[in-house]
Structure 1
Amino acid sequence: MFLANFTYLATLNLSFNSLEGQIPEGGVFSNLTSQSLIGNAGLCGAPRLRYPPCLERSRSSNKHLLQILVPTVLENAIRSFVAECQVLRMARHRNLIKILNTCSNLDFRALVLQYMPKGSLEMILHRSHSSCHLGFLERLGIMLDVSMAMEYLHHEHYKLILHCDLKPSNVLLDNEMTAHVADFGIARLILDDNSMISASMPGTVGYMAPEYGSLGKASRKSDVFSYGIMLLEVFTRKRPTDVMFDAQLTLRQWVHRAFPADLVQVVDRQLLHGSSISGCRLDDGFLASVFEVGLRCSSDSPDQRMTMRDVVVTLKKIKAEYTKLVATMSTSAAQ
């Protein structure tokens, strides 16, 4: 095409011209995007995809921004993106991930999210090379942060919001080890206070409540189930999908069989060693209290599960009593 000879032409928009044939390469055509070619069904060949300007600025000027890029050809991904934008735009809480910007064109759908330097809870728990050691108080604090975020979504936001995919990889940590709940790609905004809704997009195997996994019925209680499984995972350092678990033995069943008299068989051994701050004795009852919360939240029966409000109250009480005990022990040791 003769347009390739226009070497000083910076941009070119050929949309809606009913053009046909192969898209040339080189020159101004190397900068074409899908948006500049829309409405030309007879053209073949693919232009080089470019980042939207807002992402280019983020990439070049701020290394502390996390970008999530989703090709628009994926219909499910687009729905996921729209849902996440809607939820994040409307929800504001210190323990929810902050959305800094959104970008959208025919090539990309993108969220620019607050960067979390410590990574995910899943990474810290399960990657052997992780340099971050989580003691009892750190784990308790993280799960309290998560519970407060979920309490906000379930009970304090002006519309009920269900997360539908709560798990350690969706909990991100900042430099102060404050937890931020992320990934609302399949979250649901509930317009009324019905107890359940039908969800066409499943969560993650191992964390899904029985009624959600089998019937696709999501509710506050299904989020609570996921939270309970995650709480058990954090204090045992065993994934619900670990090879030791199967249809005959789940993570919850494994913990339940050991509760409360034989928790030494299931608790993460790192918590039974070290200082009083990083460790925790089984005989002081704090670990048993935490495991009880996890077991109650992950009950097979939705009616027997705790609410996130009750979880927050319980964990705050455990944290306050444990902190008081550690302070008393430190004072006694200093005398």
Structure 2
Amino acid sequence: MNRLCGPIGVNGIIPDSISDASQLIILDLGSNSFSGPIPTTLGNLRNLRQLILHSNKLTRDSSTQELSFLSSLTRLILSNNPLNGTLPVSIGNFSALERFLVDNCSIKGSIPNEVWSLSDLATLSLEDNELTGSVPTAIGQMRMLQVLHLDSTAPFQTILEGEIPNEGSFANLSAGSFLGNSKLCGAPQFQVLPCKASTRQGLKRSVSKPIIYILSAIVLTVLVLELIFLLFRSQKKKSKPLDKEDMPALSTWRRISYQELGHATSGFDESCLLGKGGFGSVYKGKLLDGMIIAVKVFHLQVQRALRIFNDESLVLEYLATGSLEKWLHSHNHFLDVLQRLNILIDVASALEYLHHGYGTLIVHCDLKPNNILLGEGMVACVGDFGIAKLLGEQDSMTQTHTFATIGCMAPEYGLEGIVSARGDVYSFGILMMESFTRKKPTDNMFYLIQ
């Protein structure tokens, strides 16, 4: 047994004997009425990856010191428990921690620096506690951080002060992470008071703003001109296969055995599941050499999958930053204008490669924010070629019965199933509109009155 989920509504104390299940990977006892201290014997579950104890009546003694031996723990969810006390420095021992939720736990005092040393931490929720002190500058160096909650819904509950860093992962956070902290200061995107600065610094800021606006306009103009050039070239240039000597050399792809994939994903356990789609499921895994991967396992019982794919799975690089969809339409994330421009330029370059990089034209057919994945440094990658089409030398368009996303596809694709490179360009235009307005193409503001 590697997963234990308790029934809802159970009360009493958590028995020490639970540590006898030494092979446990997931322990979920959330949303119950357990009381008393968290058992110190949980520290014996060395294979445990997820410990979920939220919404109980648990308290804390020396248990956190014992739990620090759980070096494989990726999720620690303790929200809505009267833990009291301060956050211990031993939290820094959770070196693999990705999600740490300890909101509404009556935690007092300052946030220990050891929290900011958790390099894999992507989600940190400390809201609705009684925290004090300042936000350390080291927090801006957390490259994987995507969601941060230091906000408070009760007056005078969380009293943090100082300047909010505006670098690293912090540059993409929004005001929702800091609500209720009136003593914080920082950039306008956080909706807090500006930090006090000298007259000279203020002059630099006032001069830099027009420069940023001018540079943004120049970059946007260059991007539009590049798109016009690509459109013009795609109309004039006939589909001509490249000579073998002109074609770029293909990489030697690494072959990974099924056994290695099973070990990397804990036997394709549900705890590693990233999501499901029409053609298969995607799992997160870690290879023996430490490389983080995303494994797409196809549903071979689906007739369309049998016709399209030759292999049962694809192993891809895992991009932890997430999709453009998440960054555009989540209140916990923020992209400035230059970041959006750079992402769109990356996507335009990828489309140019698909349409003109090889002798065979590749039409993506489903270009949308959810299929734009972001890597380190916000570098954009075009993914999910589930319904992509290959067009031969004599074909500039073809018909298909597989439809893309409503609102993102060209009219001829939606009405007649006709796909072409022009359809991808149309979808890219919709992507540009959605990126700068942060409105989905199905939003009422884009409907024309006929």
With structure 2 as the length reference, what TM-score do the two structures score?
Answer: 0.36
Give the number of the structure whose residues are more often helix, by fraction: 1
- TM-score, structure 1 normalization: 0.48
